[in-house]
Structure 1
Amino acid sequence: MTQLKTTLWQAIDTLVAQLPFSKAKVETALGTPLREVDRNTYTVFLESADAVQLADNERIAKIDLRLGSEQAHPGLLSLDLEGGCINLDAVRAHYSNLKITDIPRGRSLDEATTHSAALPWGKLSFGFKERAPNCLAYVVLAPGEGD
């Protein structure tokens, strides 16, 4: 497992500074290699092999990077979290202008309430799964996406 001396919030800031995403930039920012797990005509799917331990007792259990086959596509990055418990108030302390952009539909405990912030670079989303609705489960960075 890779250990970073950075918090989740610092990691997000570092990743945003790397836009547009690339395999090399994300590997450098998060200190772990990514491997290609699938590919189609439009997208290359990359994932981490190992977890990344953060300084704030959080752990990035899985990194999911999706890169468009067209050079102009900025990519999409999802970070699945485990370990500590970051609640919605802690997220709002960093990103106060959040809107609910998705809600569970009652089909699975893995469905999430998603809160998103529209930022100058794109959309930053925070998901809270039904199985632990008070703890942040994932973060998605979607450059170039609006509301």
Structure 2
Amino acid sequence: MSLAAWLIAWGGANAQTKEKSMKHSPLSLWQVVAVLTEQSPYTKAKIEGLLPVTLVETNNGGGNEIFQFFKSDPVLLNDGSVILNIDLRLKRHGFDPGFLVLELGGTCVPLEEVRGHYGDLQITDTPHGHSLDEKTSYTAYLPWGELSFGFAERNPDCLASIVFEPKKGGM
């Protein structure tokens, strides 16, 4: 077997091993989004109760004495979407509804599908040419807060992230 053939075979087996070791959820991406839009204020317990994850506190990305930052391992959803990471940010003291980001992979979710669920979207951010990870964001303004869908320059046809930003005063 040539080195190239071996690498291709190993890569395929490695991807299958990663998928088997990944936690699986019986929910689809749109079911997860629907539940999360109704769960504000966010808590670690609510997210862990919805998805088969354990959120781990991290200081990466600016966690400090005011905010706790949590991250997760990937979760495979029943529609082939993968939540690569859950980024949950909670205020340590006082009321704050939290801030939640789902970083996505797996099955490509095009903008047309997002519009099918949230038709009234406004462009709220665009890439500035500094990185292929910069996103064009489309935001839905809902009674509970803002729901933003990010499409990265690296793969502009597929949804890369969803940001849940509840209103600070609650619903």
Residue correspondence of structure 1 range 5-20 to structure 2 within 5 A:
5-20=26-41
1:31 positional shift: 1.9
Whose strand proportion is higher, 1 or 2?
1
TM-score, normalised with respect to structure 1: 0.94
Partner residue, 1:87: 110
CA RMSD between the two structures: 1.0
Match of 1:22 in 2: 43
Shift of 1:70: 3.0
Q: Which residue of 2 aligns with 1:51?
A: 74
Specify the alignment match of 1:33 in structure 2: 54
2:33 and 2:93 map into 1 onto residues whose CA distance is 24
Name whichever of 88-97 and 26-35 sits farther off: 26-35
Partner SS state of residue 26, structure 2 = coil
* 2:133 equivalent in structure 1: 110
CA distance in structure 1 between the aligned counterparts of 2:108 and 2:41, rounded to whole angstroms: 29
Counterpart amino acid of residue 104 in structure 2? L
User: In structure 1, what residue type is equivalent to 2:42?
Assistant: F
Q: Any unmatched runs of 5+ in structure 2?
A: 1-21
Residue in 1 aligned with 2:13? Answer: none
Q: Percent identity?
A: 47
How many pairs are equivalent? 144
Aligned AA (2:90): L
Distance 2:119 2:54 in 1: 32
Alignment-derived partner of residue 73 in structure 1: 96
Equivalent-residue separation in structure 2 for 1:12 and 1:70 (angstroms): 27
**Structure with the larger helix share:** 2
Which ranges in structure 1 are unaligned for 5 or more consecutive residues?
A: none
> Aligned-pair distance for 1:17?
2.2
Q: Give per-residue Cα distances to partners, 1:27-67, cap 9 Å, x unaligned.
A: 1111211010123122100001x211011110000010000
Q: Which has the larger radius of gyration?
A: 2
